[in-house]
């Protein structure tokens, strides 16, 4: 099993550009999450999903959108990137409580 | 709003020493508490999960305790090894709202 995978690993964007981060899990987990990790601030929840076709806002949802069209995939979109969105993004899945994390995507917005 | 604090931010110990990492939280109405390990440039790996009805969990050289009334959890590492060097994060809440501490960066010197 690959566990939780994230694509891409690194990305550099210019302000105003858009992009989509892909998260995939092969553990048949119902719950999936997107977090961002910034220095000295720990991880903060952006959006989450409790099952295929569902999404909900987390602690810091502004500027991001998500979709969960298939149970195994959870997409995070940035419609108009801003320098404040420079961060490391982690995807995770869980069932029932233990969370399994992907390796992260390092995003820089210039 | 749940606030999670981990002190100290960094800790350096000689190999073989027993050590305790601390985690405190402001709202005692938690569903569970998890301890994670994060290696540089990597994702998080779950170490121990304590449900709100439990007082402690053990895995090998690791023991985590939970005291909801005082809003505290500790992670005890016995006979530390250089391979234990990493950042340790605690997270409290439930699957829909998990709040992370900023972590303690542990260095175990040979």
Give A22 to chain B, closest Cα distance, Å: 15
Q: How confident is the model at residue B95 (pLDDT cuts 50, 70, 90)?
A: low
Considering only B55-59, B79-83, B95-99, which range has the smallest mean pLDDT?
A: B95-99
For B43, the closest of A59, A94, A103 (CB atoms) is A103
Percent with pLDDT over 90 in chain B: 87
Instruction: Tell whether the model's pLDDT for residue B11 goes beyond 70.
Output: yes
pLDDT band at B110 (very low <50, low <70, confident <90, very high): very high
Write the pLDDT tens digit of every residue in B61-78: 999 999 999 999 999 999
Task: Identify the pLDDT of residue B97.
Answer: 81
Which pLDDT value is given to residue B81?
97
B42: contact with A, CB 8 A cutoff: yes
* 3-state SS assignment for residue B83: helix
Cβ-nearest to B43 among A40, A59, A90 = A90
**Cβ–Cβ gap A101/B44 under 8 Å:** yes
Q: Work out the minimum CA distance from B4 to partner chain A, whole angstroms.
A: 9
pLDDT in tens, chain A (110 residues): 779 999 999 999 999 999 999 999 999 999 999 999 998 778 999 999 999 999 999 999 999 999 999 999 999 999 999 999 999 999 999 977 889 999 999 999 99
Listed as own residue / partner, the contacts of A53-59 with beta carbons closer than 8 Å and 24 or more positions apart are: A56/B96, A58/A33, A58/A34, A58/B97, A59/B97, A59/B99
The answer to whether B44 contacts A42, with C-beta atoms less than 8 Å apart, is no
Question: Can you name the residues that pair with B88 across neighbouring β-strands?
Answer: B37, B104
* Residue whose structure tokens are 């006979």: B79
Contacts of B95 in chain A (CB under 8 A): 31, 48, 50, 94, 96-97, 99
Please say if the pLDDT value at position B5 is more than 90.
Answer: yes
Q: Any CB–CB contact under 8 A between B3 and chain A? A: no
pLDDT score recorded for residue A51? 93
């Amino acid at each position: 099993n690959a566990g939780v995978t994230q694509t891409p690993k690194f990305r550099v964007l210019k302000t105003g550009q858009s992009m989509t981060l892909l998260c995939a899990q092969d553990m048949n987990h119902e719950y999936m999450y997107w977090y961002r990790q910034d220095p000295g601030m720990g991880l903060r929840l952006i959006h989450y999903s409790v099952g295929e076709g569902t999404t909900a806002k987390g602690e810091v949802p502004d500027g991001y959108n998500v979709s969960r069209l298939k149970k195994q995939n959870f997409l995070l979109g940035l419609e108009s990137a801003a320098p404040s969105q420079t961060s490391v993004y982690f995807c995770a899945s869980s069932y029932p409580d233990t969370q399994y994390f992907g390796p992260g995507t390092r995003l820089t917005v210039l | 709003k749940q606030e999670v604090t981990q002190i100290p931010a960094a800790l350096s110990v000689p190999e073989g020493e027993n050590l305790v990492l601390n985690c405190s939280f402001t709202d005692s109405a938690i569903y569970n508490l998890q301890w994670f390990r994060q290696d540089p440039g990597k994702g998080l790996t779950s170490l121990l999960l304590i449900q709100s009805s439990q007082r402690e969990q053990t895995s090998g050289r690791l023991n985590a305790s939970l005291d909801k009334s005082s809003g505290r959890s500790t992670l005890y590492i016995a006979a530390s090894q250089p391979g234990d060097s990493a950042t340790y994060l605690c997270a409290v809440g439930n699957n829909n709202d998990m709040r992370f501490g900023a972590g303690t960066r542990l260095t175990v010197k040979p």
